[in-house]
Amino acid sequence: MTNSLRTPSRNDLEAGAPPVTPTIADVDLIRVEGGARLNGEVAVVGAKNSALKLMAAALLAPGRTVITNVPRITDIAIMAEVLRRLGCQVEITPDEVPAGRQGPPPSVVVNIDVPDEPGTEADYDLVRRLRASIAVLGPLLARRGYVRVAHPGGDAIGSRGLDMHVAGLARMGAEISGEHGFVIASAPQGLQGATIWLDFPSVGATENLVMAAVLAKGSTEIDNAAREPEIVDICSMLIAMGAKIEGVGTSTLRVEGVEALSPVRHATVGDRIVAGTWAFGAAMTRGDVLVNGVDPAFLDIALDKLVSAGGVVEPEKTGFRVRMDDRPKAVDVVTLPFPGFATDLLPMAIGLASVSDGASLVTENIFDGRFMFVNEMARLGADIKTDGHHAVVRGRERLSSAPVRATDIRAGAGLVIAALCADGITEISHVHHIDRGYPDFVGDLSALGVEVQRAAAPEDPQFSF
């Protein structure tokens, strides 16, 4: 296996796979036959947005940390390589295959052996592909007193600066500078506890600051902290490692620094965004889907919107059930930090509005580039007009099939779900984006009754290498 011109594949998430250096992603496509009604049961595994940060948190304690219920996605392979280059030994083993499921398991177990002195530099070629890798900034600064991390990349959904990360660490005594595309932070005397106010409840900044604070000297208070379930998950793991954190799940986190932490075994919280994708898919296709593996409280507002649209939502023992018998009614949606409507579900909200009875106003308050995929929805016949961070969507009874392109993880999933409401066969290209957030999207669709196929996109002879 070579390390050039490729992104980590699903095979790289099997035990014993060699390290890889992702550069150019394969361009696959998904073919979907419209008119399907999602029906059946789907299991949701651990949240990508939590698992990646849990892997970074492992750097805080020398020894072996084991993280279970990790989604089998390409981003996990990239983060594993980030940790390997920091001197960690990372082994990824398949989880058990759920009863009745065909193909590879949707989740894996990540075993991370952290050395006494991990490395201090995260390479550009990996960090540029995975924004979550900036999460190594806080733990490495706390452990080593110095870190050099490339500016992160990730999905093209708008500006996501590091100002709050940097300002918070500076209040804790870090000296921070930038050069040649890298953030360089040092704290030779160690980090000191401080009071930090976040201008916005940023998930990434909250994670980095709490990971830095657990080993800082004295007390740290983070006000206007993010409250997402993924924040609760990482705090729960840190507490199990020996950290002292109060206010978990509220907007004020109080952290009392400790001398050292110990490695643990921790299960990743279920992925509310994947669960929300299936919930909206059931509503859009007038289907009936039981979603297992996620606490419905994580999706209170999103599920309430589906009820307002005419759906039936029932909590279950290990998840929830969504059923829509008639054409959905139009509802307005405004994205906000948790516990508000999640920005990652905006493509699904646009999809629902596109086939609803009436006009919907969808407002995006988090990322300025979330509406980039609207042009692709228009190719499917959706009637959408955008103005700044607002979109007015007039629903249609049916959409029409067309070739479309996934522009990011959630937009890709949203386009596939929207294609189920179109006549004919729709091809969605650049679906490697979807692989970064959904362990076996095609397999789950097939199990829910969709005629779906994944294939390699044909090469254009004019532009082949």
Binding-site residue numbers for UDP-N-acetyl-alpha-D-glucosamine are 131, 344, 366
Question: What φ, ψ does residue 267 adopt, rounded to 5°?
Answer: -95, 130
H/E element, 93: strand 89-94
| Cα–Cα distance, 421 to 431 (Å, whole number) | 19
- In terms of C-beta density within 10 A (0-12 exposed, 13-18 middle, 19 or more buried), how is residue 441 classed? buried
Tell me the C-alpha to C-alpha distance, in Å, between residue 390 and each of 45, 139, 340, 350, 374.
32, 38, 17, 11, 12
| Cα–Cα distance, 21 to 125 (Å, whole number) | 8
Report which of 399, 358, 396, 364 is spatially closest to residue 379, judged by C-alpha positions.
Answer: 399
Place of tokens 């921790």: 266
| Cα–Cα distance, 347 to 331 (Å, whole number) | 14
| Cα–Cα distance, 238 to 47 (Å, whole number) | 17
Do 267 and 293 touch, CB atoms closer than 8 A? Answer: no
Compute CA 47 distance to the chain's CA centroid, rounded to the nearest angstrom: 7
- In terms of C-beta density within 10 A (0-12 exposed, 13-18 middle, 19 or more buried), how is residue 256 classed? middle
Annotated binding site for phosphoenolpyruvate: 48-49
Which of the residues 12, 123, 155, 435 is marked catalytic? 155
Q: What DSSP state is assigned to residue 61?
A: S
How many CB atoms lie under 10 A from the CB of residue 283?
30
Annotated binding site: 48-49, 131, 344, 366
Q: Using DSSP, state whether 214 is helix, strand or coil.
A: coil
| Cα–Cα distance, 252 to 275 (Å, whole number) | 28
Place of tokens 């979550």: 132
155 is catalytic: yes
| Cα–Cα distance, 395 to 360 (Å, whole number) | 8
Structure tokens at 441: 């999207």
- In terms of C-beta density within 10 A (0-12 exposed, 13-18 middle, 19 or more buried), how is residue 11 classed? exposed
Contacts of residue 387, defined as CB under 8 A and 6 or more positions apart, other chains included, come to: none
| Cα–Cα distance, 173 to 194 (Å, whole number) | 9
Alpha helices in 129-271 (DSSP H): 137-144, 163-171, 203-213, 229-240
Do 173 and 189 touch, CB atoms closer than 8 A? Answer: yes
Do 58 and 239 touch, CB atoms closer than 8 A? Answer: no
| Cα–Cα distance, 427 to 449 (Å, whole number) | 18
Catalytic residues, which ones?
A: 155
